[in-house]
Structure 1
Amino acid sequence: MNASRTRTLLWPAALVCSLALASGCSGSGSGAKADATTTQAAVPAAANDLQDDYLKVIKDVLPSVVQIQASNDLGSGVVYDDQGHIVTNAHVVGDEKTFRVTTANSEEELSAKLVYSYPEQDLAVIKLDRVPDALKPAEFGDSSKIEVGQIVLAMGSPLGLFSSVTQGIVSATGRTVTEGQSDGGTGATIGNMVQTSAAINPGNSGGALVNLDGEVIGIPTLAATDPGLGDSAAPGIGFAIPSSMVKTVADQIIKDGKVTDSGRAALGITARTVVDDDYQAAGVAVVEVKEGGAADKAGIRPRDIITRLGDTDITTITSLSEALAAQQPGDRTTVTYTRDGSEKTVDVTLGEQ
Structure 2
Amino acid sequence: MSFGRLVVSGAVALLTALAVAGCSSGSSSSTPVTTAATPAAGSGTAAPGGANQLQADYQRVIADVLPSVVQITTASGLGSGIVYDDKGDIVTNAHVVGTATAFTVTLANSTKPLDATLVAGYPDSDLAVIRLSSPPSGLKPATFGDSGKVQLGQITLAMGSPLGLSSSVTDGIVSATGRTVSEPDTAGSPGAVIGNMVQTSAAINPGNSGGALVNLDSQVIGINTLAATEPETNGAAAPGIGFAIPASTVTSIANQLIKEGKVTNSGRAALGITARTYFDQDFRPAGAVVVAVAGGGPADAAGIQAGDVITKVGDTPVDSLNSLTTALASLAPGDRTTVAYTRDGQNRTAEVTLGTLQTP
- TM-score, normalising length: structure 2: 0.86
* Partner in structure 1 of residue 99 of structure 2: 95
How many Å separate the matches in 2 of 1:89 and 1:20? 34
d(CA) in 2 for partners of 1:55 and 1:266?
Answer: 43
What is the SS of the residue equivalent to 1:177? strand
Structure 2 residue aligned with 1:148: 152
Q: Would you say 1:348 and 2:343 are equivalent positions?
A: no
Q: Map 1:300-319 onto structure 2 (within 5 A).
A: 300-319=304-323
The answer to whether the Cα contact below 8 Å between 1:90 and 1:122 also exists between their aligned partners in 2 is: yes
Question: Whole-Å Cα distance in 2 between the matches of residues 21 and 236 of structure 1?
Answer: 21
Change (3 A) 1:102 1:184: farther
Q: Which residue in the other structure is 1:134 paired with?
A: 138
CA distance in 2, matches of 1:310, 1:350: 12
Structure 1 position 78, deviation (Å):
0.2
Q: Structure 1 residues 269, 17: closer, same or farther in 2, change over 3 A?
A: closer
Change (3 A) 1:340 1:71: same
Q: Which residue of 2 aligns with 1:65?
A: 69
Q: Given that residues 63 and 136 in structure 1 are in contact (C-alpha distance below 8 angstroms), is that contact kept between their aligned partners in structure 2?
A: yes
Q: Which amino acid aligns with 2:327?
A: A
Tell me by how many angstroms 1:287 deviates: 2.4
Please state how far the C-alpha of 1:263 moved relative to its aligned partner: 1.0
2:113 is matched with 109
Give the counterpart of 1:215 among 213, 219, 239.
219
49, 55, 61: which one aligns with 2:53: 49
1:114-263 alignment, distance < 5 Å: 114-182=118-186, 187-263=191-267
Aligned-residue identity in percent:
61
Secondary structure, aligned partner of 1:105: coil
SS at match of 2:135: coil
CA distance in 1, matches of 2:24, 2:205: 3
2:293 pairs with 1:289: yes
DSSP-derived class of the 2:172 partner = strand
Three-state SS of the structure 1 residue aligned to 2:47 is: helix
How far apart are residue 332 of structure 1 and its match? 2.2
Paired amino acid for 1:208: A
Give the 3 Å change call, closer, same or farther, for CA 286–2 of structure 1 in structure 2: farther
**Contact 1:90/1:186 (8 A) holds in 2:** no
Moved more, 178-187 or 201-210: 178-187
- Distance in 2 between the 1:185 and 1:339 partners? 29
Query: Is the 2:269–2:333 contact (alpha carbons within 8 Å) kept by the matching residues of 1?
Result: yes
- One-letter amino acid of the structure 2 residue matched with residue 274 of structure 1: Y
SS at match of 1:54: helix
Is the CA contact 2:91–2:128 (under 8 Å) kept in the aligned structure 1? Answer: yes
Match of 1:15 in 2: 37
Number of aligned residues: 335
Tell me if structure 1 keeps the 8 A contact 2:38–2:55: no
Deviation at residue 119 of structure 1 after TM alignment:
0.8
Q: Tell me if the contact between 2:201 and 2:240 (Cα under 8 Å) persists in the aligned partners.
A: yes
Return the offset for 1:284.
Answer: 0.9
Superposition CA RMSD, Å: 2.4
SS of the aligned residue for 1:315 comes to: coil
User: Given residue 256 of structure 2, which amino acid in structure 1 is its aligned partner?
Assistant: Q
2:36–2:169 CA contact under 8 A, matched in 1: no
1:347 to 1:19, Cα distance in 2 relative to 1, 3 A? closer
Deviation at 1:142, TM superposition (A): 1.0
Contact 1:17–1:47 (Cα < 8 Å) also in 2: no
How far did 1:113 drift?
1.2
Letter in 1 for 2:104: R
User: For the residues of structure 1 that align with 2:40 and 2:202, how far apart are their CA atoms?
Assistant: 19
Give me the TM-score of the superposition, normalised by structure 1.
0.88
Residue identity matched to 1:336: A
Give secondary structure in 1 for the equivalent of 2:57.
helix
In structure 2, what is the Cα distance between the partners aligned to 1:21 and 1:335? 46
The unaligned stretches of length 5 or more in structure 1 are 23-39
Contact 1:67/1:103 (<8 A) preserved? yes
Computing the radius of gyration from Cα coordinates, the structure with the larger value is 1
For residues 112 and 66 of structure 1, do their structure 2 counterparts lie closer, same or farther at Cα, with a shift above 3 Å needed? Answer: same
Q: Residues 185, 206 of structure 1: CA spacing in aligned structure 2 closer, same or farther, 3 A cutoff?
A: farther
TM-superposition CA deviations, 1:221-270 (whole Å, max 9, x none): 11112122222321100000111111111112222222111111111222
Work out whether residues 24 and 77 of structure 2, in 8 Å CA contact, stay in contact via their aligned partners in 1.
no
